[in-house]
Chain A
Amino acid sequence: MSIARPEPAPTPALREIRGPSALTGDMRRFVTLTRTIAVMDFKLRFFGSVLGYLWQLMRPLMLFGVLLVVFTQIVNVSSADDFPVALLLGVVIFTFFAEATGGAVACVMVRENLVRKIHFPRLVIPMAVVVVACFNLVLNLVVVVIFALAWGIAPTWTWLGMIPLLALLVVFTSGLSMLLSALYVRYRDIQPIWEVVLQVTFYASLILIPYEAIEIKSPTLAEALLANPLAAVIQESRHLLISPSYVDAGNGMGALWRLVVPFAVLAATFALGLWFFNREAPRIAEEL
């Protein structure tokens, strides 16, 4: 067997070994690794069971179905006739958020073998979790679009606005995922804590009870809820995707400039997550 190898440089210069880090400065390797691990993970779920991807779809759809029955047939939270579409969209976006952050919490522990045995940018691990969640989000959004079209909603140019909006959502989710996965290495009770937080977030993100329903009772509360980037993204996506009758996030907060708040939360979360993960990365292998 021949082992192909680029012609060795005469004498490669000595470079310092700095030890493990979050990124190692090698962006290409980071991207390749994250993609490879995410694709393999996705494949595993896809082919792992008889019905494969159907189960992946079932989770948000079942939640949607139950909520739809309860909140249209038993309790009436919205009079809007496109409420089911709005609900499904909210559930799908939240599912992405919960899957990514919930999965990120223990991800370093799950990949313990890699962390202890091989040198690679540590940030790959939580990011691969987020990427897998992104794959699922895209596939779920296809379902949402089909559902919306079936409901009689006509496609418009505003749909393109979903792209930057989802990008912001991914940035926010990534920040939290980095923070949680690094925290978990030190504090194992992050896992139950985060489960509780996710539950609260579900109700505080305008998924079930739309903005309009809350605004009637308390405009201040409705405005305050939009400070949560997840809620703002869900509200804005309804405005863009379903109907302009859903108030956009800026106006929902009372004034466009108030959008500074969710943006600031988002940016701060990402910066904090990146900083903390980067700080913890060198010691992750020994702290596990």
Chain B
Amino acid sequence: MHAQAPAAPAVVVDGVSKTFHMPAEQAHTLKERVLRARRLRGGSSFIALDDVSFSVQQGEFFGIVGRNGSGKSTLLKCLAGIYRADAGSMSASGRIATFIELGVGFNPDLAARDNVVLNATMLGLSPAIARARFDEIIAFAELEDFIDLKLKNYSSGMMVRLAFATAIQADADILLIDEVLAVGDAAFQQKCFDVFGRLQDEGRTILFVTHDMATVVRFCQRAMLLHHGRMVQIGPPTEIAEEYLRLNFPEQSDQAGSSPLRSGDGSARIEDAWVEDAGGGRRTTFLSTEACVFRARVSFAQDAVQPHINIVWVNERGQNVFAVATAAEPGGSGIYAAGDVVDLRLSFVASLAPGHYAVTMVVSHPGSGLDFMDRWERMFKILVTSANAAGGLVELPHELTIERAAPAELERSA
């Protein structure tokens, strides 16, 4: 992506573990300690990080993902030198700046200038440099008219802008960033990422903690997935995002069973139905664009000639997003005798927006299709997940190209 010197590691983490001790009852006073000495010895410990090892190359934009409690923030705090790791070693080349929160040390009773100096000093700049860059910071934050206003009179947006403008002044080779962007609006986030991109072009290394897969896929060159304090996978962001979605939307429990949602005259029976992946394994969670097969087994108690079989997928809003009917298929459904058992296979690509989809299957006598042999509404649901949903109902296979129009063509159209 960027012209780089042969990759030298900027951050090396080797076998880092961190355990927090959580006493059953926290003792904060001497009296408590003396009186409950026995009880306090118990308590549980929480393993926040368990033997995590990885390394980040210089100039890399590296994502650390995982859901809440996976240890990603703890890892960042260990790297930042806020927590001490229990085991393992960490090293870094160059100066580290940490953005766990924007505007650390801001005081509402001080004006912008003092707060900038305070914050920049906390981030490692000398007060003289901070003062020298003050105008630049204010210009970036677009706060020229509010320099003398006390911070308590700032809006939250103004405060965040000031904090971010200050933070990016930190002369660091390695930036540790922990979801500081969650606070801003879309435009602000874009501005943040523009800056990160430029910092990266200057050769700085960025470690970015998030649980927003879209961000990871968009900006990171590599990512690491943490789950319950363990490192699950390191690799290209798209793979990591997929693995994250798989891990964090656990398989749905099967909701099949006879219920009021089932009706019919009993002349046929849907014995079983499920969805499997291309490898033949039963699953209920799929990535959009993943190939899958709906399978059902139907037994006939009576002879049936060209029964109608309908399969309908319904989204959370009750809309039929995908329906298949044998009446509309060229071959129809076939002719069966009492006692026959048939296997039905419906292969499709789950090109759907992320969400839950319930399936309804109907076997009915030929004719109106309302004469049910067996109708099973909402047999079960599948979950479709996606790393980059843009908001449509479906995710059709697509290809997007944008090119600059040739000048000659522009003239012609003008």
Which residues of A come within 8 Å of B, CB atoms? 1, 3-6, 8, 11-20, 24, 29, 32-33, 35-37, 40, 43-44, 48, 113-120, 186-189, 282-283, 285-286
Contacts and interface: CB of A to CB of B under 8 A. Distances in A.
Interface in B353-410: none
Interface stretch (B109-117, B245-253, B263-271, B330-338): B109-117
Contact of B93 (A14, A24, A187, A188): A14
Contacts of B96: 17, 119
B178 to A, nearest CB: 9
Interface of B: 5, 8-9, 12, 20, 28-31, 33, 58, 77-85, 89-94, 96, 98, 100-101, 104-105, 107, 109-110, 114, 117-118, 121-124, 126-127, 133, 136, 139-140, 168-169, 171, 173, 198-199, 202-203
Contacts of A36: 117-118, 121, 127
A11 B30 contact: no
Contacts of A6: 171
Contacts of B114: 40, 43
A116 B171 CA distance: 21
A120 B8 CA distance: 27
Given A14-B92, A36-B117, A188-B28, A114 B122 contact: yes
20 contacts: A5-B171, A6-B171, A11-B5, A11-B93, A12-B94, A12-B173, A14-B12, A15-B91, A17-B91, A17-B92, A18-B84, A19-B81, A20-B81, A20-B83, A36-B117, A114-B122, A118-B80, A118-B105, A119-B80, A189-B30
Contacts of A118: 80, 82, 98, 100, 104-105, 122-123
Contact of B82 (A13, A43, A117): A117
Contact of B84 (A15, A19, A33, A35): A19
A13 B173 CA distance: 12
A24 B84 CA distance: 13
B43 to A, nearest CB: 14
Contact of A187 (B28, B79, B133): B28
A56 B400 CA distance: 68
Ranked nearest first, the 6 interchain pairs of A and B with the lowest CB-CB distance are A19-B84, A119-B81, A12-B93, A17-B90, A14-B91, A282-B84
A187 B107 contact: no
Contacts of B122: 33, 114, 118, 120
A141 B33 CA distance: 43
Contacts of B123: 118
Nearest to A189: B29
A138 to B, nearest CB: 21
A26 to B, nearest CB: 9
A4 B168 CA distance: 11
A135 to B, nearest CB: 16
B98 A188 contact: no
A121 B124 CA distance: 11
Nearest to B124: A29
A107 to B, nearest CB: 14
A183 B139 CA distance: 44
A113 B161 CA distance: 19
Contacts of A15: 91-93
Contacts of B77: 285
A67 B3 CA distance: 75
B65 to A, nearest CB: 21
A42 B4 CA distance: 47
A286 B121 contact: no
Contact of A286 (B79, B83, B100, B198): B83
Nearest to A2: B136
Contacts of A20: 81-84
Nearest to B172: A5
B171 A119 contact: no
A20 B98 CA distance: 13
A164 to B, nearest CB: 29
Contacts of B78: 17, 19
A188 to B, nearest CB: 4
Contacts of A283: 84
Given A33-B122, A36-B127, A114 B81 contact: no
A6 B202 CA distance: 11
Contact of B105 (A8, A44, A113, A286): A113
Nearest to A285: B82
A114 to B, nearest CB: 6
A48 to B, nearest CB: 6
Given A24-B81, A35-B127, A115-B82, 15 more contacts: A3-B198, A5-B171, A8-B94, A11-B5, A12-B173, A17-B92, A19-B85, A20-B81, A36-B117, A36-B127, A37-B118, A44-B107, A117-B82, A120-B122, A189-B29
Contacts of A8: 94, 173, 203
Nearest to B109: A44
